[in-house]
Structure 1
Amino acid sequence: MNSVPPKRNAPSLHARAAAGTLGAHQSMDLGTLDWICANRPAFTDSRPRLPAGALMLIPEAAWFSDPGQAGDSLHGIGHNARVSFLAWVLADARALDRDHALALCAAAAVHDCRRHNDRDDPGHGRRAAHWFTAHTDLVAAASGHRPRPTPLARAALAVALHDVPYEAFTPEQNDTYEQAPHLVDLLKAADALDRYRLPLTRWWPDPTRLRIAVPAWLHPLAFDLLVRSEKARLQGAAPHEALAHARQSLTREP
């Protein structure tokens, strides 16, 4: 079923963020997307370097704590799918082996699936990691790939830590991090790259909060992926169709 575009005369997400009146459920709207496009950063390198066969796993609404809001939530299907794609591209850029890249791509597609709302929601990473561990067969079947158990277990650790700032790690979380530091770093970076969807520029990607360097060309790629997928959805495409359209449009570019 196609989504229904929101009305432009409703208070935009950007306006509500500026006024400090954001609710528990937050979704993109035409006014906010226009604002995002108008504030496109002056990227230093806009030439895409996409790997051949770049993967994007688009999660199902049924995988989310609230399937009814998964289609338009800022942390729903669109966000998780874009992070899955960006995690794959980052993994390729860092020469991660295929098994770990596949596991990370799958985990990224569900990293926010256990959120209760679109605010901070502490602990949602741990809840999502538990869900992913219990449903790896389901997620792997949807992706069409089956990584080995060890990479999948390490990817689950990355999901458990993705919502915790490095400086806030407990001693136990530091021990967990040391079991899969490369996957934690990559998932955090991929998640950060989709922050261009947020309605205030001060919430957009901040490289100083990451432990890996993100290639300059990946920022405009993330920005365009967001804009194209959300524009298609707001024009009436279902989330899966909008994401597939955005991915295909980017991978066709030279």
Structure 2
Amino acid sequence: MTSRTPEQSTASLRELAENRSLPAHQVMDQDTLAWIARNRPEASAAPPTLPYPPLMLVPDATWFAQPQLVDSIHGIRHNARVSLLAGLLAQEYGLDRDHSAALCAAAAVHDCRRRDDRDDPGHGRRAALWFTRNQPAVTTMLGRELPPDLSKQVAAAIGLHDVPYSDFTPEQNRAYQRAPHLIDLLKAADCLDRYRLPLTRWWPDPSHLRIVIPAWLHPVAFDLVIRSEQARLNGATNHGALIQARQLLNIRQ
């Protein structure tokens, strides 16, 4: 395997962020990852013993709207990490296996229809539509079918994950009421993976959420970013990098 470095710029994401000149497509680099690693949050509690292994669904490259997004900071690794974090939150909040699987599916798809790595308003709605049209591809990889009503909840969660609660329209509030647990947990899992971003002011801010993230999950989320991104920079495939990261985490089952 050969080492992988971003091709779009010689400047690091960290430098580009500080200069407010981040490109449309953003790929992790060694300098940025080293800076992230130096700012690890303190572990205030150990991970609990889990009743069953958390799911981690790794999206296929064909699910993404733009080829440049597959390996970007909103690409395969981000979506897969969010699915694992969602699975951990699902157990923390007592979701049954069907709802945990539904949440995992929503997380794996949530950013797949982005057009770039900037704000890209509406990408949640596009991803929800893509899921509705391509659900068999997702459930086949997930290894289980989802009941029709639960599939609708998945689409609702995907469609609202990028919309702040304060910006919900009356129609979006009605959609939220039909799937509050999936929407709240997907937003929280997505928030937890923000440790990959090159400025600390973009890192997880629980004040934007409606659920409490357990303290032990912050260092777990951080380590998932560091280990999977470093493995990818070292030449591992996306899937291989994610598996390495998951195996190295101290998550007891």
TM bin, normalised by shorter chain, reads over 0.9
Q: Which amino acid aligns with 2:121?
A: P
Deviation at 1:28, TM superposition (A): 0.7
| Structure 2 CA distance for aligned equivalents of residues 227 and 179 of structure 1 | 35
Give the CA RMSD over aligned residues: 1.8
TM-score normalized with structure 2 length: 0.94
| Structure 2 CA distance for aligned equivalents of residues 207 and 83 of structure 1 | 16
Task: Answer yes or no: is the 8 Å Cα contact 2:48–2:251 preserved in 1.
Answer: no
Q: Which amino acid aligns with 1:144?
A: G
**Kindly, what percent of the aligned residue pairs are identical?**
60
Unaligned stretches of 5+ residues in structure 1:
none
Q: State the match for 1:155 in structure 2.
A: 154
| Structure 1 CA distance for aligned equivalents of residues 240 and 157 of structure 2 | 28
Q: Which amino acid aligns with 2:224?
A: L
| Structure 2 CA distance for aligned equivalents of residues 170 and 78 of structure 1 | 31
Shift in CA distance, 196/46, structure 1 to aligned 2, threshold 3 Å = farther
Q: State the match for 1:17 in structure 2.
A: 17
| Structure 1 CA distance for aligned equivalents of residues 130 and 13 of structure 2 | 30
* SS at 1:109 equivalent: helix
Shift in CA distance, 252/104, structure 1 to aligned 2, threshold 3 Å = closer
Q: State the match for 1:183 in structure 2.
A: 182
Deviation at 1:175, TM superposition (A): 1.0
More off after superposition, 242-251 vs 18-27: 242-251
How many corresponding residue pairs?
A: 252
Unaligned stretches of 5+ residues in structure 2:
none
| Structure 1 CA distance for aligned equivalents of residues 164 and 135 of structure 2 | 26
Deviation at 1:25, TM superposition (A): 0.5
Q: Which amino acid aligns with 1:132?
A: F
Task: Answer yes or no: is the 8 Å Cα contact 2:47–2:252 preserved in 1.
Answer: no
| Structure 1 CA distance for aligned equivalents of residues 234 and 186 of structure 2 | 30
Task: Answer yes or no: is the 8 Å Cα contact 1:50–1:251 preserved in 2.
Answer: no
Task: Answer yes or no: is the 8 Å Cα contact 1:5–1:236 preserved in 2.
Answer: no
| Structure 2 CA distance for aligned equivalents of residues 156 and 165 of structure 1 | 17
Please list the CA deviations of residues 122-154 of structure 1 after superposition, one character each: whole Å capped at 9, or x if unmatched. 000000000011111110101112222211210
Q: State the match for 1:64 in structure 2.
A: 64
Q: State the match for 1:99 in structure 2.
A: 98
Q: State the match for 1:115 in structure 2.
A: 114
1:31 aligns with 2:14: no
Runs of 4 or more, structure 1, over 6 Å off, are none
| Structure 2 CA distance for aligned equivalents of residues 251 and 150 of structure 1 | 35
* SS at 2:144 equivalent: coil
TM-score normalized with structure 1 length: 0.94
Q: State the match for 1:133 in structure 2.
A: 132
| Structure 1 CA distance for aligned equivalents of residues 2 and 63 of structure 2 | 19
Task: Answer yes or no: is the 8 Å Cα contact 1:49–1:217 preserved in 2.
Answer: no
